[in-house]
Structure 1
Amino acid sequence: MMEGNRTLRAAIYASASNWAPLTRRDIPIAEQSARCREAIEARPYLKRVGTYRNRYENGEAGDYERLIEDAINRRYDCLVICGGNHFGPTERAAFFHIGRFMVPAGIRVIDIGEGWDTGIMDGRKYAFHLTSMARMEKNARKRRDGNGS
């Protein structure tokens, strides 16, 4: 879905962090970047303006802070990621930055790993999807540790 005839500046974020390792597989950074580039190329209304990377398991490392700062300063209109589990150090950080800041500020989020696009789907529902991913991870951890039913 195009926003009028306007080209959207798209940023890619790829990260080695994964706050849901039991329910979402790790995807190498190079593969995340490639998938995101393909998604941008498939959408003629998107123009890639940058790629942010975090090569560390700490979700707040690498380019993460610069990504958030650039969102605040509106250096991109659309964020393309390959799974919300790779965004931020925790589900809470992902929920806050995407659900409470980016989507309400009009930044479109395309999560090709989970199949969400806040430009054509309700961004609030995507933010709550991140919360349900965290709940699934917590339940998987309980089962793994023998504390679940």
Structure 2
Amino acid sequence: MQDPRHPGIVAEPIAQGQLTVMAPVGTWSDAECAQPLDAAGLTGELIGLADNDPLGEMVLASCEAQGITPVFHTVVQTYQIARSLVEAGAGTAVLDPFTAASANAAKVQCRIWAPAMPVQLYLLTASHAPLSHGARELANCIGATARACLERGCQ
């Protein structure tokens, strides 16, 4: 989900979604779920990402730009752990749309982050070695699956 901007690596965007706030089911009304959530709306037990994580840095920068300093009660190393904690009812997390869309919709609610922040899913390949036909087909399938997952979304 990050372009390494390295001369030996080609980063090809294959899917794009919006930064997403995920909370345990029942946190927001249906009307609230239809509205984006900004940093001021982050309340309760917050689950944060590690300081050196690019997505975590993006969330913190967005909060600071809105004049908010979030207090994370739990800090995790992976997006999947944050998702699992939200599914278990342990708090709220701001995550990439791909992890959010893979959550158990019966256990979580999602809202788009405000201001909207796009998150890309990249296919990384060596710049000196083009993909074989089979590898290109696999990459196309991965992109299509990611886009379909985003269409189903986290409701």
Q: TM-score when scaled to structure 1?
A: 0.37
- Highest relative contact order (Cα 8 Å, sep 6+), 1 or 2? 2
More helix by share: 1
More strand by share: 2
